[in-house]
């Protein structure tokens, strides 16, 4: 245990020595640009331990003061439910409780936060330094078997839905499963996508199997997004990340790939370890191992496989690859802050750190206008196109 702790300390020291302060020019651009982060997991964490995110909250990676320090304007709140919650019938309640948390945050801190329901309202609502909170549902499990629930969640403020998460569900196959159930989208999933198109809810293809993504692209008449994914080019055989050929198809349909900051998305060894851990736990569960046994094994595994120490360059590498592959108009950012257990690059540990990303992009030669596209312009454009084609009555 002491040896492990010492190793983590040594890696932390090494990482801090590598870190550098962003330039004043980078800080200024981060404050001036509209920064849109399409995936922050604050609502899920609030179910276990509530914090007032209107104040500085060191236990979390997102709060209001640090969002303003980093220049974050639009922080998509992830309404996450697990595959297990879906199977046990808890997904509906968990999703609505998280939506209540986000709406309450905006209500109690109306000078700091505002719910965002349309990209048309960004400039008006962010006046006075407010951080805007649109909501995306991570896992379509709460929809259940009733197509009417898609509109129910639209009316509650949901503006994108990630159709599946850790397991194959009623809607779609998951990238995390070794074998699909539907060979892509289910028949019900096809109805869900059509209804999302009608309402103007963005279809999010992160977490889905390649076959499901292809099914969606054949079906949808508007662009889609990958709200928080990496590029599989850097993590071979890690199906959770976006394959180059699929990324091209998403872009050809007008969509955007939002690059995540989590080390598991950025590093091949971390991705391989993640998959091995997941599959081992699934095998243990199938073999009848107790929850305590599985948790003990998982804890030891994490100690034996610490996250790699990465830096901003690892994220910029992914952005570079995506831009060269699909073009500057189809790449954005979806950090996964509060969702990857702190396993993040040294210089990108919280929402205060967006100037470090801007600095990294500047050092690679990106022009201000293109940086603005990556930071949020591309995502807002796509959202506007999807909203414009909605056919709500």
284: which 2 tokens?
A: 């243990």
pLDDT at position 19, please? 58
Please give the average per-residue pLDDT across 45-62, as a whole number: 96
d(CA 17, CA 19): 6
pLDDT band at 181 (very low <50, low <70, confident <90, very high): very high
pLDDT at position 13, please? 42
224: which 2 tokens?
A: 């889609």
d(CA 139, CA 163): 5
d(CA 287, CA 297): 14
Task: Pick the closest to residue 53 from 93, 101, 95, 99 (CA basis).
Answer: 101
Q: Beta-carbon neighbour count of residue 117 at 10 Å?
A: 16
DSSP three-state, residue 287:
coil
d(CA 269, CA 265): 10
157 phi, psi to nearest 5 deg? 110, 0
pLDDT at position 3, please? 31
d(CA 157, CA 150): 11
Q: Indicate yes or no: pTM above 0.85.
A: yes
Please give the average per-residue pLDDT across 74-97, as a whole number: 97
| Domain annotation for the chain: domains and CATH numbers | 21-267+308-388 (3.20.20.140)
- Give yes or no for residue 4 having a pLDDT over 90: no
Are 170 and 181 within 8 A, CB to CB? no
- Give yes or no for residue 349 having a pLDDT over 80: yes
pLDDT at position 100, please? 98
d(CA 102, CA 187): 32
DSSP three-state, residue 335:
coil
d(CA 164, CA 166): 7
């Amino acid at each position: 245990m002491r040896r492990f702790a010492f190793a983590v300390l040594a890696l932390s020291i090494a990482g801090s020595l590598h870190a550098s302060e962003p330039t004043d020019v980078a800080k200024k651009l981060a404050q001036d640009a509209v920064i849109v982060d399409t995936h922050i997991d604050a609502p899920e964490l609030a179910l276990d331990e509530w914090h007032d995110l209107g104040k500085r909250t060191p236990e979390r990676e997102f709060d209001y003061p640090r969002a303003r320090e980093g220049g974050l304007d639009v922080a998509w709140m992830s309404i996450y439910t697990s595959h297990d919650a879906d199977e046990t019938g808890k997904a509906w309640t968990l999703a609505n409780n998280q939506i209540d948390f986000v709406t309450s945050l905006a209500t109690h801190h109306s000078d700091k936060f505002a719910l965002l329901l349309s990209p048309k309202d960004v400039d008006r609502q962010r006046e006075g330094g407010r951080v805007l909170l649109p909501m995306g549902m991570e896992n379509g499990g709460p929809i259940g078997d009733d197509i009417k629930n898609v509109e129910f969640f639209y009316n509650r403020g949901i503006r994108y839905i990630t159709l599946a998460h850790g397991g194959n569900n009623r809607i779609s196959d998951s990238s995390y499963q070794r074998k699909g159930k539907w060979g892509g989208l289910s028949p019900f999933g096809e109805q869900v996508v059509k209804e999302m198109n009608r309402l103007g809810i963005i279809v999010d293809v992160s977490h889905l199997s390649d076959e499901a993504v292809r099914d969606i692209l054949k079906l949808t008449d508007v662009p889609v997004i990958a709200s928080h994914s990496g590029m599989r080019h850097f993590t071979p055989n890690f199906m959770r990340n976006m394959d180059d050929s699929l990324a091209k198809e998403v872009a050809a349909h007008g969509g955007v790939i939002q690059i995540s900051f989590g080390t598991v998305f950025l590093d091949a060894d971390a991705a391989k370890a993640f998959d091995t851990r997941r599959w081992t736990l699934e095998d243990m569960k199938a073999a009848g191992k107790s929850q305590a046994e599985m948790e003990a094994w998982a804890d030891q595994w994490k100690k034996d496989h610490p996250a790699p120490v990465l830096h901003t360059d690892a994220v910029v590498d992914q952005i570079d690859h995506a831009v060269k592959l699909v073009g500057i108009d189809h790449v954005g950012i979806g950090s996964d802050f509060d969702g990857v257990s702190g396993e993040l690059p040294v210089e990108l540990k919280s929402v205060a750190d967006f100037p470090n990303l801007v600095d990294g992009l500047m050092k690679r030669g990106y022009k201000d206008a293109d940086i603005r596209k990556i930071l949020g312009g591309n995502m807002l454009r796509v959202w506007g196109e999807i909203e414009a084609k909605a056919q709500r009555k």
